[in-house]
A and B are shown apart, each in its own frame.
Chain A
Amino acid sequence: MPKALIELNHINKSFAGVHALKDVSLRIEYGEVHCLAGENGCGKSTLIKVMSGVHAPDHGEIRIDGQLRSGLNPIEAINSGIQVIYQDFSIFPNLTVAENIALNGELAARKKWINWSKMRQTAKQALDKVGVDLDLNAKVEHLSVADKQLIAISRALMHEAKLIVMDEPTTALTQKEVRALFRVIEGLKRDGISILFVSHKLEEVFELSERITIMRNGKNVISERADQLNREKLVYYMTGRQIDESYYEIGKQSGTPLLRTDNLSLKGCFEHISLSIHPGEIVGLTGLLGSGRTELAEALFGLTPATSGEIFRDGEPVSIRSVQDAETHGIAYVPEDRLTEGLFLEQSIERNMVVSVIDEQKDKWGMIDRRKVKSAVRSWIQKLGIAAHSPLAPVKTLSGGNQQRVVLARWLAASPKVLILNGPSVGVDIGSKEDIHQVIRELAGQGLGVLMISDDLPELRQSCNRVLVMKRGRIIGEAEGKSFTQEVWSELHDARDDDAGPVERRGNTA
């Protein structure tokens, strides 16, 4: 066999007794776009860390350019042309753009002194390669997510990268930014740079890659040319089960809406939002990052109260100035970022489930009634099918899908009337995603109103009976759920370009 850019053969790796990689092999050719697919927690990230020298494998060999490399460390990996862009970009918020881009290379060259003008120069060149213009002296903490990613890519391009590994690069990006990223990737490929693209999003996997390696439970299942695979096969290999596609439809709604807003505005974030959600509806809400969709959700939930306009619950005007107000009026919110906003990772599953209803678990002395708590927790674990050893185990021991169910259970325990979901399936494996959608449909069937914010078009299409599109702080269009395709989205979003509101895009908020 001819030599490849990098070969990993029979890699094994365990952490604290957990066998994360079992006999995994991966081969990346010169100049190919290779996709590493698999559900969350299947060992993709560990494999990358082995490749980049952060973790040493317990068994197995790494060959770069056909050369056996034992005891690979991060600096050697960088010097061999391997660059990893992690999910969090590994960027330093406290340093300038120039330093973030150039420091890595200087360090790899074992420089002891810093030459600031040279660093700025190299950083400028790197940014030019990607075709962006950023203030080199600006501190990175004030930049948007997409800009941070561009910095990470520019940094990877320095130092003659031969292979750029991108770990779930699209998670925090909007569709538009994803397109821009794909163009950058195609450009890199033309320059002869290999790309290893790690993802669990099927559309991206097919669009981009020439070859696909699929992992499941720490083993590699298959490594195949992309044109030999199709969507069904891929899902089957990733999850070990089949998926079905269906739509959520309900009849035309009349009567008093559960939730209605009238000209709701929050200065600098969104304005003149008038929407209504009827019982049984699942209303999708989409828009680019910074379109004001998250701010709208957080305003409805009282986290950042709206500055003007009115909110009606069951036709009655209500004032929502705090999360407590929202709870009182039966509004629940499953936040966007599960790990930082949703969960108490170190705390038990039980506590994570009852946090929003602790005050209702009191006995006549004002103490927490343990029996009440336990029976509630037990019933939710059963209802949502949460796979846990014990409700007292820390919630961080659960998989992404089960964690999302815990957050869902927390709010369902408060028996809300309106449920706002922000990115309900981000970072959730396909199997759990289906289950979560099923739960949401059942809840809507029982008369709950749901507002689902998502970037995932298939998800919106399958789950929502109608979808609202937001742009620069305004709702600019609405479509039927099952017909909400890529074309419809582009048409709605791009048609009213001149008419969009004056609200400026805010960089550092989602």
Chain B
Amino acid sequence: MRKWTKTSEFYVAIIILVLFAAIGSQNGAFFSSANMFDLIRSSIVPGIFVICTMMVIISGGIDVSFPAIATFSMFSATKIILMLDFDVPVFAAFLLAGIIGLGLGLINGLLIAFFKLPTLIVTLGTSSMFSGFLLTFVGSRQISNLPAPLEQFGKTQVIKFTTDAGITVGLPMSVLITAAVVILVAIMMKYTMIGRGIYTLGGDPVSAERIGFNTRFLQCFVYGFVGFLAGIAGMIQTTMMRSSNPVDLLGTELLIIAAVVLGGVRITGGHGTVTGALLGLLLIVTIQNSLILVGIPSYWQRFVIGALILIGTGVAAYQIKRSSAKQSSILT
């Protein structure tokens, strides 16, 4: 572990600290508990998404369909529960959304594993399919009258206190779900055969098969599991917004991928950690939420994020190029 200073996570952490110091020195409100809680709250749903994206990219693929899956799962699960017309417990609602997500994720997985189709294109296609189906056949109007248990879950706070300024800040229950997912996936990637299998799949899929991994199963697992998590994340979004909006999360996929890549997860597969992915997300969320605190208008956000992606990946690419002059990889 003597080489931890050479990891990309280390560099991202430094950038975040510098950014924190810079923003904090300009505006003390940045370090207020209200703002910090705000950052965490903004990371609850994207937190699960970056974990999903990280797993897929490590396995050597890319998935742009998770917002569609999340939206599909949460909206149809909410509809089903409303139709049932009795108080379904919260965990059952999450489970239902998860199972719907699992099913949709498996469609991705099966197409990728059995027809060997390029992952980006498959998930582009299914993304369009899922959201098209949802908006055409399930419904396109926001549901504001959530079932009571979900409404209740959304209102329950884990931590809640009133600051000196008299502002009440708190974190919703769902932060625990995200934390659990993060820990679970971190353990899975490091300490289980499936987790290591995902790394081997991204490193060299042919060899993975030769040493005895069932690569088709692994791919189906990755996309199915990611679908499941996306469903859960969708349900969290519903409880946090106190409404189920069928177009809510669409369009966030590229930003999430950007976060994961900034966190040092290599787009070519096989490399990346949960810590890195979370750090990448923290960087993006900070820019989105806090640039305005130092007087940079919010319409600069996109520009800054774009520049950050180019500089971040540029530095990484330059390092790789220097360490192995022979390697020429212009392919994604």
Contact = CB atoms under 8 A, between A and B. Distances in A.
Contact of B207 (A92, A112, A116, A304): A92
A74 B206 CA distance: 13
A304 B192 CA distance: 43
Main secondary structure of the interface of B (DSSP, over half): helix
Give the interface centre of B208, B209, B210, B211 by most chain A CB atoms within 10 Å. Answer: B211
B325 interface: yes
B211 A114 contact: no
Nearest to B270: A94
A388 interface: no
A113 interface: yes
Interface in B179-208: 190-196, 199-200, 202-204, 206-208
A116 B196 CA distance: 11
Given A75-B212, A93-B270, A94-B270, A113 B193 contact: yes
Contacts of A112: 192-194
Interface in B293-332: 324-326
A88 interface: yes
Given A93-B204, A509-B326, A84 B210 contact: yes
A90 B210 contact: yes
A113 B194 CA distance: 9
Nearest to A91: B207
Interface residues of A, number: 28
Interface string A329-344: 0000000000000000
Given A74-B212, A106-B193, A114-B196, A304 B203 contact: no
Nearest to B187: A113
B189 to A, nearest CB: 10
A95 B191 contact: no
- Size bin of chain B's contact surface: 20 to 34
A78 interface: yes
B196 A94 contact: no
A111 B203 contact: no
A86 B212 CA distance: 14
A116 B189 CA distance: 13
A178 interface: no
Contact of A54 (B199, B204, B210): B210
B192 A74 contact: no
Interface string B204-234: 1011111111000000000000000000000
Interface string A65-96: 00000000011001000001010101111110
Contacts of B324: 508
B64 to A, nearest CB: 23
A222 B249 CA distance: 67
A107 interface: yes
B193 A94 contact: no
A107 B211 contact: yes
B199 A95 contact: yes
Contacts of B271: 94
Nearest to B324: A508
B192 to A, nearest CB: 6
Give the interface centre of B194, B199, B200, B206 by most chain A CB atoms within 10 Å. Answer: B200
A104 interface: yes
B246 to A, nearest CB: 39
A113 B191 contact: yes
B193 A74 contact: no
Nearest to A104: B211
Given A90-B207, A92-B200, A94-B271, A107 B193 contact: yes
A281 interface: no
Interface string B256-282: 000000000000011100000000000
A95 B200 contact: yes
Nearest to A53: B212
B193 A108 contact: no
Contacts of B206: 90
A439 interface: no
B203 A93 contact: yes
B192 A113 contact: yes
Nearest to A119: B196
Nearest to B201: A92
Contacts of B269: 94
Contacts of A113: 191-193
Given A91-B207, A93-B203, A107-B213, A99 B196 contact: yes
Contacts of B191: 113-114, 116
A202 interface: no
A75 B208 CA distance: 12
A92 B190 CA distance: 16
B24 to A, nearest CB: 36
Nearest to B197: A107
B199 A94 contact: yes
Contacts of A108: 212
Interface string A262-287: 00000000000000000000000000
Given A112-B193, A113-B193, A508-B326, A104 B203 contact: no
Contacts of A90: 204, 206-207, 210-211
A172 interface: no
B204 to A, nearest CB: 6
B212 A114 contact: no
A113 B326 CA distance: 37
Contacts of A114: 190-193, 195-196
Nearest to B325: A304
B199 A111 contact: no
Contacts of B193: 106-107, 111-114
Contacts of A208: none
Contact of B270 (A54, A92, A99, A103): A92
Nearest to B213: A107
Nearest to A115: B191
Interface in A103-131: 103-104, 106-108, 111-114, 116
Contacts of A74: 209-212
A166 to B, nearest CB: 14
A78 B213 CA distance: 12
A355 B210 CA distance: 36
Nearest to A49: B210
Contacts of B202: 94
A83 to B, nearest CB: 10
Contacts of A78: 212
Top 8 closest A-B pairs, CB basis? A94-B270, A90-B207, A92-B203, A94-B203, A75-B212, A104-B211, A74-B212, A90-B210
Given A95-B200, A112-B192, 11 more contacts: A52-B210, A74-B211, A90-B211, A92-B200, A92-B203, A92-B204, A92-B270, A104-B212, A107-B213, A113-B193, A114-B191
26 contacts: A74-B209, A74-B211, A84-B210, A90-B206, A91-B207, A92-B199, A92-B203, A92-B204, A93-B204, A93-B270, A94-B199, A94-B270, A95-B196, A95-B199, A99-B196, A103-B200, A111-B193, A112-B192, A112-B194, A113-B191, A113-B193, A114-B190, A114-B191, A114-B192, A114-B195, A304-B325
